[in-house]
Structure 1
């Protein structure tokens, strides 16, 4: 049984030896492989030098290429067995980087296998200057239309001044990073558009199966002159192109963890390229308003409106103002909607109108309110006459006129005028002149004799009978000399107190440092004394050396363990008694030391005395 196991083990070892020796017996060959023959500037191509066959005593010689760098990325070894045939290969990995665009040739690599020399074939490749061809120019050419474009809903014929609702959409592909430089602008002659909202509606839409980010504006267009006009919308933006942290990663592994495009957005340099999104050209036809049926009260209002007129108060006196409120609601060009004209009449006096506008949810919807003050000149039961608003309805294609209902009022005679008339009638009926009451002249009281009780009653300050002090000028106090002197004195006091506080802190720090040094001396002397009682010469000298280093480190603000004999001579001088002690202890650290008890006591006393002197 044991003999069978030995035989099996022997066969297994022979098989392993064959696997190990067989590759070296195969005929060696070398090959150079470049994974791509064309790449952009700033990218990398992967170059592999594959050595098949013998792998003992290999030496690869790299060529030099002008404006091209070869970045070694290690080597990999592979052994495979197919149908009992064993093969091996050794691969040298490189990343090829070009410093300028152009055509290049990789010269042969030379492989030395002992006395044999092998070479690879030359490889030609091209480096371009533009890594991304998706946004080629700023004018919307190339493939910019696939990245961003604008659509608008415009149709039909319109009238001058008519407000035409338009839905404006700007589409941007989701897989691009884009920054807006402007809102959409109108390119047209004879057509105007109001200013767009800087916060449009945002949503996502699929166009031909491609997802887009969409910005939506609800706006309107108005033609200002008749004719056929070409309308186009334009929007300026910036395309953010990642520098691709080198599109060919520096990792020797394909599709590794750090080949993720998500990391490219964070760590790559971003290139900014201006692009322009355009809409297709639309025909915007403006036809003139019809002359037939145009009322005299028409003043350019186009749309669909309603009119409401309110007058308040309903009961007034002659000469009191009445507020007339005219509210016009609907859809249309409110810029051309004017207040209905109050009819001319000797019974009324009118004043100019004031207007206010509240926009609705739709761009062309809203409410415009006019207020006008009117005054009745006659008494009795009168009416505010009907007011007229004429406009053109583009949906019906004709003019319409709105007429308000008359508003009844009750106007009474002015009370002041009635009182004056009544007094005149009383005096005229008796034939006598009305008595005029004599008014006693008012004698002003002398200054300074105002009753104190009256002053307290009206909360008045007492009157001064004499003039106070006079001043040559009225400069504020912060512009006077004494104020600057006070400020300077305060600054000097602060500086002086700061200096005293600094000196006190330094003195306290010095006292703390001295106290710390004395404690260190006591601790190390105790350790040295313990080593002496234990008659351990080596430990005694080591602790004595450490004590000197620690104390000199505190004194010179150096690292204690780094202080050597030359540093000690520089700090204390050549004649210090600590020099021979440190030299003896320093030598004992590398050789055997022998000290008597008397020598250790003498060294300990010298150390204590010299440290206290310092």
Structure 2
């Protein structure tokens, strides 16, 4: 009898991994099962694992009745994210009950530097081929595999699922190194029959613009969903009763797409216009002036509006030729992005200021803009209409001398009406007092304007250089913008807004790095961030710290119910620290 009681009180702890080999950009699912006949099973205690980040994914319960003995079990699930490559043990997971510690078994997890080939087979019934009675699979397709550089490639991710699923599937975006990436959005789910099975399709589309020639690779995309599990039947009516099956929580499923290789062609050299700036697509240009009647030196603002289909962000300023009648200054530029039929396009506006030098009926000539049409394999030229401007002379203007008028109200007092004779002898000279060059007021009066002029020229040149170098301007303003985003995140740093908080932190970190490195923030993953920073000789420890915080944001949704206020405060502090540290590193 005593033996039976002791056996009934025993607690077992089982530790399992869904896979034993993963890559640095992948995760493993750790399950800890606590079983026994006690009424309240204790929660497992996890040791400190410095080589991994651990996030809770919840728990499930199971109750079984056999020979009148009731046994219950709890299964705790954790997401394991590696910090570095290697082979590491996960050990010393235990529970404490009635002052007695029960220890689980040890498991080993191997982390590879790159994606694990073994990961393609785990928990995935979908990667062999389309259809063929598969419950779910993920397919990646592109509309063209041999684009020109800067020509749009439309990438479509198609998630086919033929079984019931719960919640929203979680997508890990594909890596798109070598592309400027814009998300086109998700298509409304629809149904399609394939190999005599009816699938529900969920689509997500991207516009990819290759930034270099040669072979480029679009990496794997991975999608995770909770699908309905197949309930196992038991002949014993008093057998296993699974709460997961009763409430329909299902099991986690994972599907990955295959990598795609794209061969990017250079833009043809034949018939290339001399002022071609690399724009690809189909565009038109229009010029509008804010005024048609002005005085000399009164500015006329002309907006050059370029619109069409293509990478509108890469459209360069139209080339303006020098004009004797006008001084020309660049004012500003703006852009708006739009899409139609999965094609990205929009409008880009360049503002130029024309200041007339002389009066008369002046003409701002037609401005040409060249682009390459990839559909027709030819260069096209569009141009604006000439703009006529009537310029009048203000009061006090005199154009007889041929010297352009420079400022209103300025008159020239002609004191000499004839040529003075040359004096043949110097005559007697005598001192009239102290020389003015030894007077401090004289020195300051003459040198201060010179210093001011030099300072003005230097400041202006610096501003012009920053305006021309958008990458440098983005890098200089990156920290300021990130500071504002972190301030917004700080206002959300509470358990009631945990989702919004982590979204804001993620945006702050990715946008900051994109501005700092002059790259697109879209499609940035921990893998691409790690690669970009490594190429710029960033210390490995700093890379791990930066990507570690981003990973916390990526997977906060898995553990939102288990997060505490201290977790939120720690994430905010880490975010501020890594940005400060990146600011102190010179990114080559």
Q: TM-score, normalised by structure 2?
A: 0.43
Which is richer in helix?
Answer: 1
User: Normalization by structure 1: what TM-score?
Assistant: 0.42
